[in-house]
Amino acid sequence: MWKLKTAEGNDPYLFSTNNFVGRQTWEFDPDAGTPEDQQEVENARQYFLNRQKEGFQASSDLLMRKQLIKENGIDLLSLRATRLEETEEIHYEAVTTTVKKALRLHRAIQAKDGHWPADYDGPLFITSPFKGKHWLYGAASYIIRDYMELIILYISGTINTHLTGEHKKEMKRYIYNHQNKDGGWGFHIEGHSTMMGSALNYVALRLLGEGPDDGNYAVSRGRKWILDHGGATCIPSWGKLYLSVLGVYEWEGCNPLPPEFWIFPETFPFHPAKMWCYCRTTYMPMSYLYGKKFHGPITEFVLQLRQEIYSIPYDEINWNKQRHICCKEDLLYPHSTVQDLLWDFLQYFGEPISKYWPFKRLREIALKRTIELIRYSAEESRYITTGSIEKSLQMMVWWAENPCGDEFKHHLARLPDYLWLAEDGMKVMPSGGQLWNCALSTQAIIASNMIEEYGESLKKAHFFIKESQVKNNPTGDFPKNCRQITKGSWTFAQDDGWAVSDCTSEALKCLLLLSQMPVEISGEEDGNIERLYDAVNFILFVQSPTSGGFAIWEQPVPQPYLEMLNPSEMFADIVVEREHLENTASIIQALVAFKRLHPKHREKEIENAVSKAVRFLEKRQRPDGSWYGYWGICFLYGTCFVLRGLEAAGKTYDNCEAVRKGVKFLLSTRNEEGGWGESYKSCTREVYTPLFGNRTNLVQTSWAMLGLMSAGQVERDLTPLHKAAKLLINAQMDNGDFPQQEFTGVSMKNCMLHYPLYRNIFPLLALGEYRRRLWAC
């Protein structure tokens, strides 16, 4: 039976800056669990299938929840859930009961080290490049499997020796569960079939041991979709590279990614250090692999795949002509003519001369520099890296560079950090999200103002947040290695060293709130006020001096025209770091709260920063009154965060036109039952799009409530809030949970993300604030 382990790191190739606080990995013990426990797991899997038939593709993350609820032993059922009749008015007791049950459930799923473990998935294209490994500790089998290592661990020859039948079964379960009716797989689990999703998931199933014609025809249906849509030559550029490394695609069919890019002088207008960090850390290993033209051994299996996924014989494909081809189902952001001309110049002129002196020597120097940067990035992140994409690519690089080296072993030891098991199967998380979930959960618990129900939850969360802060900048000459300051920040994924401004602002808000509470409730403070100052210093560092908005990871680069060079067909806005609305709004809240409690630190600078940030938010408002959300779906998310930020800055319905327009937008998008529900299609269309059937999403309804309350809706008209609160109350389940519906996270406009904890965090936060504002609780 599977079991979640937290805050453990028993491997000589693992190292940590905080004693592995926040680490979450899964272990399989064949002797664990009673028949009743195993039946509960099967019931959870059937629940997912039943919900899927109702149109909900995301898992409810029940396996982790069942385990932690049992371990924490908090009574969830003695207090009965409230049900309000259609004609019954909402009342204090109903709200209080719902908040109390939600709070108890939230405490019950907190880990011993203070964080809230959770699934974090959505994209389907990351399942193929990975596969995992297992270690034995005592009698139990500790097994690590990461989808994104399927290709590299096949190449390295460890796929059958380091993968048990249990892992294969769970991986295949996930892929089969999210196959579309037409036989293909989408870019994400709610999306239409694409070549990227279909080809890579087909390859994953074959690497997992499925034959080309399995018993339930799922594999053959997947192959049929691929062939019916032009074959794998139409896969987007990232897929072309992955398949080239496996040996089932030719490097000649990839647009050039010359490693010489990494030795450009710093004065060059488009130096790598100016790239958005995710773009930089993705294309860095890609350029190394391209420069080496690395691929794995051409085995009989690889030859079989070559026959299966192309519509014409492999040897007859004109690979050069495939460079600019992309399946129309995948193509969201076509390359510009300028970009295609650049690719052609590199293909027909740059690459041929790279084989001759002195350009051959230049390539050797470039590859050496690229490896230096990759090594620095790996070591500074404890081999976690920025995310699962970079990690898979780095592992390919290190196997190509030095298959027996320690770098590859360090990477293997960190594979479990990306692995997650839920009732829909085993998947790879793009990243961890431990701090983000903890900071939002902490604020939701505090918003309930039910001190008697807090238990040890805030003490544990306080410990986790303190331990998670980044204590230092990257080592050595970090600007030379394309890095910027990180000291005082918090990261999204635990211990990866990549500073994130909204995680920093949300964590800072938590520490400020906890510092005002009795120590017996919140736990001991750190006592080092300089760490708060460091957090503020980092936040101010990432503000744009021109727009006033705040970037996420690093200082914004005011060169939006460089997006013309976006090499991806699937993602938008990936080339340079830019300002975002939601984190700017979160930062306003944090800075205002900090200045109130610590007025002597950079007081004038904070005042100016907040003033500029407010103007940035007001200027970015859309004509319909909404704000575009980049990290959540979509206009409801952005509008919620911005209205909360404007409230912190003293902007009200009466004194701010932007607030009035924001309220008008929220009220105009309510559905007939008084809730809100927005489709992920808003993100790519950039126009508000309701869910199919105009149905309600509880998380998005909570966002709308929070936005309206921040805009003073309680003082004007309570009806919209009453109706929304009633929907949340009646939706609560017997154990205090809320049903999982559509996923609500996104990045890069097309990469939809599943945050299952949102269904607990935001209803608790919304109803807690609703209760406080109405009854002064």
The pLDDT, as a whole number, for residue 93 is 97
Tokens representing 658?
């932007």
Query: Amino acid letter at 431?
Result: S
Lowest mean pLDDT among 94-103, 145-154, 250-259, 651-660: 145-154
Q: Which residues make beta-bridge pairs with 25? A: 5
Q: What is the mean pLDDT of residues 247-271?
A: 92
pLDDT digit string (tens) for 330-386?
998 898 888 899 999 999 999 999 999 999 999 999 999 999 999 999 999 999 999
387 vs 162, higher pLDDT: 387
What distance in Å separates the CA atoms of residue 91 and residue 46, rounded to the nearest whole number?
36
**Residue 356 neighbours by CB distance under 10 Å:** 9
Residues 6+ apart with CB under 8 A from 681: 689
- Is residue 289 within 8 A of residue 400, CB to CB? The reply is yes
Quick: pLDDT tens for 73-94: 999 999 999 999 999 999 999 9
Rounded CA separation 695/671 (Å): 7
pLDDT for res 131? 43
pLDDT in tens, 585-622: 999 999 999 999 999 999 999 999 999 999 999 999 99
Encode 611-650 in three state secondary structure.
Answer: HHHHHHHHHCCCCCCCCCCCCECCHHHHHHHHHHHHHHCC
Q: Any idea of the CA torsion for 753, 757, 763, 765, to the nearest 10 degrees?
A: -110
Nearest CA-CA partner of 710 in 678, 663, 762 = 663
3-state secondary structure of 480: helix
Which DSSP string corresponds to 757-770? Answer: THHHHHHHHHHHHH
pLDDT of residue 124: 62
The dihedral through the CA atoms of 115, 117, 122, 126 has a sign that is positive
Question: What was the pLDDT predicted at 536?
Answer: 98
For the stretch 618-645, pLDDT in tens is 999 999 999 999 999 999 999 999 999 9
- Of 424, 495, 502, 534, the catalytic one is 502
- Higher confidence at residue 581 or residue 335? 581
Residue 122: band (very low, low, confident or very high) from pLDDT cuts 50, 70, 90: low
- 319 and 256 in contact (C-beta within 8 Å)? no
Side-chain half-sphere CA neighbours of 744 within 13 A: 25
With residue 401 as reference, give the H or E element that holds it. Answer: helix 388-401
477 annotated active-site: no
pTM beyond cutoff 0.85: yes
Residue 158, pLDDT above cutoff 60: yes
Task: Give percent above pLDDT 70 in the chain.
Answer: 97
pLDDT band at 163 (very low <50, low <70, confident <90, very high): confident
pLDDT at 147: 46
Q: Is 427 helix (H, G, I), strand (E, B) or coil?
A: strand
**What's the pLDDT score for residue 148?**
56
Residues 174 and 505: their CA atoms lie apart, in Å, by 35
Q: Residue 610 and residue 643: Cα distance in Å, rounded?
A: 14
108's enclosing H/E stretch is helix 92-108
**Spatial separation of the C-alpha atoms in residues 521 and 359, rounded to whole Å:** 65
Confidence band for 183, pLDDT divided at 50, 70 and 90: very high
- Average pLDDT over the chain, rounded to an integer: 93
The pLDDT, as a whole number, for residue 269 is 77
Predicted confidence at residue 134, as pLDDT, reads 34
In angstroms, the CA 624 to CA 627 distance is: 9
Instruction: Work out the angle at residue 143's Cα, subtended by the Cα atoms of residues 142 and 147, and round it to the nearest 5 degrees.
Output: 155
DSSP structure string for 289-347: HHHHT------HHHHHHHHHS-SS-GGG--GGGGTT---TTT-SSPPPHHHHHHHHHII
CB 669 within 8 A of CB 690: yes
Among the residue ranges 134-143, 209-218, 387-396, the one predicted with the least confidence is: 134-143
The answer on pLDDT for 60 being more than 90 is yes
- pLDDT tens digits along 722-745: 999 999 999 999 999 999 999 999
pLDDT at 567: 86
Q: pLDDT category, 415, cuts 50, 70, 90? A: confident
Helix axes 758-775, 434-448, angle to 10 degrees: 30
Residue that is written with structure tokens 């009795």 in the block: 518
The Cα–Cα gap between 280 and 568 comes to: 13
